[in-house]
Chain A
Amino acid sequence: EAGVAQSPRYKIIEKRQSVAFWCNPISGHATLYWYQQILGQGPKLLIQFQNNGVVDDSQLPKDRFSAERLKGVDSTLKIQPAKLEDSAVYLCASSLRGLADNEQFFGPGTRLTVL
Chain B
Amino acid sequence: AQKVTQAQTEISVVEKEDVTLDCVYETRDTTYYLFWYKQPPSGELVFLIRRNSFDEQNEISGRYSWNFQKSTSSFNFTITASQVVDSAVYFCALNQAGTALIFGKGTTLSVSS
Residues of A within 8 A of B (CB): 33, 40-45, 48, 56, 89, 91, 93, 99-101, 103-109, 111
Contacts and interface: CB of A to CB of B under 8 A. Distances in A.
A83 to B, nearest CB: 22
B74 interface: no
B64 interface: no
Nearest to A42: B103
B47 A108 contact: no
18 contacts: A41-B105, A42-B103, A43-B91, A45-B100, A45-B101, A91-B45, A100-B95, A100-B96, A100-B97, A100-B98, A101-B52, A101-B95, A103-B47, A103-B50, A105-B47, A106-B37, A108-B43, A109-B44
Nearest to B51: A101
B50 A44 contact: no
Interface string B28-61: 0001110101000011111100101000000000
B44 A44 contact: no
- The B contact surface, by secondary structure, is loop
Interface residues of B, number: 27
A56 B95 CA distance: 14
B111 interface: no
A108 B44 CA distance: 4
Contacts of B101: 33, 43, 45, 104
A91 B93 CA distance: 15
A44 B37 CA distance: 14
A45 B45 CA distance: 14
Nearest to A103: B47
Given A41-B105, A101-B50, A107 B44 contact: yes
